[in-house]
Homo-oligomer: A and B are copies of this chain.
Amino acid sequence: MNIGDVADKVGLPAKTIRYYEDIGLVKPLRDNNGYRAFQANDLHKLTFLARARKLGFTIENCRALLALYEDQARASSDVKTIANQHLEQINAKISDLMAMRATLSHLVTECAGDNRPDCPILNGLSETLAT
């Protein structure tokens, strides 16, 4: 299967698939004309990658997960460890963002948002923030 069809099937841009080949995540065969010839196994891996990336795993985590995915003798605990670390990072990001939101929405509600120059948002950014 050519790259365009693969892109449609797995929901990744062709550019991204070429990039994944560049960094060694997939190794499609080549036709005589030089076109990439993707096999069923390549499609599985790309689908796997698309989903793992959508869940926010880094490329390096994806590489590790893919290796485990292909290792029939893997221990599920290895996978769980990676997933749990990632969950912790997600939680940390959510906390960060919620703290930002609290501070910023507090500033926004205090701002009249009119034609006058007096602005609690700018004041809040220039004075000490009660974070």
Question: Could you tell me which A residues sit within 8 Å of B by CB distance?
Answer: 44, 47-48, 51-52, 54-56, 65, 68-69, 71-77, 79-81, 83-84, 86-87, 90-91, 93-94, 97-98, 100-101, 103-105, 107-108, 111-122, 125-126, 129, 131
Contacts and interface: CB of A to CB of B under 8 A. Distances in A.
A59 to B, nearest CB: 15
7 contacts: A44-B126, A55-B104, A56-B97, A72-B117, A75-B116, A87-B108, A94-B101
Given A54-B100, A56-B97, A90-B101, 6 more contacts: A69-B125, A74-B117, A76-B111, A79-B121, A87-B101, A87-B108
Q: How many copies does the complex hold?
A: 2
